[in-house]
Amino acid sequence: MRLVLKPIIPVLVAFFGAIASACSPYTDQPIRSGEIWPDDRGEHINAHGGGILVHDGTFYWFGEHKGERSSSAFVGVTCYSSKDLVNWKYEGVALSVSDDPASDITRGCTLERPKVIYNKKTGKFVMWFHLELRGRGYSAARAAVAVSDNVTGPYTYIGSGRVNPGIPAENVTDADLAYIDALQEIPRSWTPEWLEAISKGLYYKRDFAGGQMSRDMTLFVDDDGKAYHIYAAEENLTLNIAELSDDYQSHSGRYVRVAPAGHNEAPAIFKRNGTYWMITSGCTGWDPNAARMFSAPSIFGPWTQHPNPCRGEKSEITYGGQSTFILPVPGKKDLFIFMADIWRPRNPIDARYIWLPIQFEQDGTPYLEWLDEWNIKDYK
């Protein structure tokens, strides 16, 4: 039997391979970072600081709508859909800002880095985003949540606030807190003593009762269906990773501080072969800086910092961009797309997108190289 089958095997492999590629949704059209990306209406995609949800074989890209002069939210969160990650259909405004001046999300608020996940238990789509109240700069530092029965919306705003008020982080020690309590005075900002105090929890403790600050953020759903909210807390000095409740609409109370006093924002995360990888940026506002990378054997850590994953020209400024999301591409075993924004604060609507395939060293360490163009089809 074996003898008979042997010559047929390459034929079968070629046959099923051909069927698989005929069924593949991916096209020959390349991805060209930094260029204008027209949607089905011919308009540059307006979904900044975004993320992608894969649902029922379709990609849904949610992001910040930006105008020509202001980065504030005058429209809301936009949604685009695609089967191939190259051709995008505008699906409209998924979460609209409110006309009610009393609403948290009134027109002119700051609504950043929206991410949507699907909850299998409730059948609802849950959107989290960073919210700043209108006219109050970046002082509110709130996490906000909205839900919908339909992936493209409309999403209903549920509420916003600081995170986990009165709840201790799992990795804060009594020794850390004793160190803070023993401080005679608050050290001068940016001195080594101050960074040490921040690292031990100076701002964590300051914000404990009212809840931790939450600015740049992303979401991550693990293989077991648990979801996590990863956000810049403590005046952007420390990241938090907080588990969401079973319905994804609130926090469960479990969270850890990550890279305390490391000054990270723009977190983007993925998991490969059991290791969690996170790419972040430093904090220089709209200006690009060098990316940072961390890994951990568990979502709650311990997280270890690695060198900047970017290589080549402009690697010290992430090729002009700032991380926003990492997409594992379905059907492509080792294709994880690193997504970043090239901000244009003087003409925010013209901000561009960087999408690069993450590459891997022999030992599994991720790295990035700029590619003028590349094709999803070329990945297995």
Distance, in Å, from the CA atom of 264 to the CA atom of 216, rounded to the nearest integer, reads 9
Distance of CA 39 to CAs 28, 44, 139, 173, 198, Å? 17, 6, 35, 50, 44
- Which of 39, 91, 112, 243 lies at the binding interface for ligand GAL (CB under 6 A)? 112
- Which of 216, 243, 268, 325 lies at the binding interface for ligand GAL (CB under 6 A)? 216
Parallel/antiparallel/unpaired status of strands 322-328 and 310-311: unpaired
Contact call for residues 209 and 203 (beta carbons, < 8 A): no
Given the complex with ligand GAL, which of 243 and 341 has the nearer CB atom?
A: 341
Q: Which residues pair with 275 in a beta bridge?
A: 272
Q: Rule CB under 6 A: say whether 217 interacts with ligand GAL.
A: no
Q: Rule CB under 6 A: say whether 322 interacts with ligand GAL.
A: yes
Q: Rule CB under 6 A: say whether 374 interacts with ligand GAL.
A: no
Closest residue (Cβ) to ligand GAL?
285
Main-chain phi, psi angles of 236, to 5 degrees: 70, 15
- Which of 26, 37, 49, 248 lies at the binding interface for ligand GAL (CB under 6 A)? 49
Segment interacting with ligand GAL (CB under 6 A) among 13-21, 247-255, 270-278, 281-289: 281-289
We find the least distance from the C-beta atom of residue 50 to ligand GAL, in angstroms, to be: 11
Q: Rule CB under 6 A: say whether 38 interacts with ligand GAL.
A: no
Please count the residues of this chain forming the interface with ligand GAL, following the rule CB under 6 A.
10
Give the CA count within 13 Å in the CB-facing half-sphere of 20: 10
Q: Rule CB under 6 A: say whether 234 interacts with ligand GAL.
A: no
- Which of 285, 297, 302, 312 lies at the binding interface for ligand GAL (CB under 6 A)? 285
Q: How far apart are the first and last CA of the chain?
A: 31
Residue 305: strand, helix, or coil: strand
Segment interacting with ligand GAL (CB under 6 A) among 139-147, 154-162, 282-290, 301-309: 282-290
Let me know if 299 is exposed, middle or buried by CB neighbors in 10 A (0-12, 13-18, 19+). Answer: buried
Q: Which stretches of the chain bind ligand GAL, using CB under 6 A?
A: 49, 112-113, 216, 265-266, 283, 285-286, 322
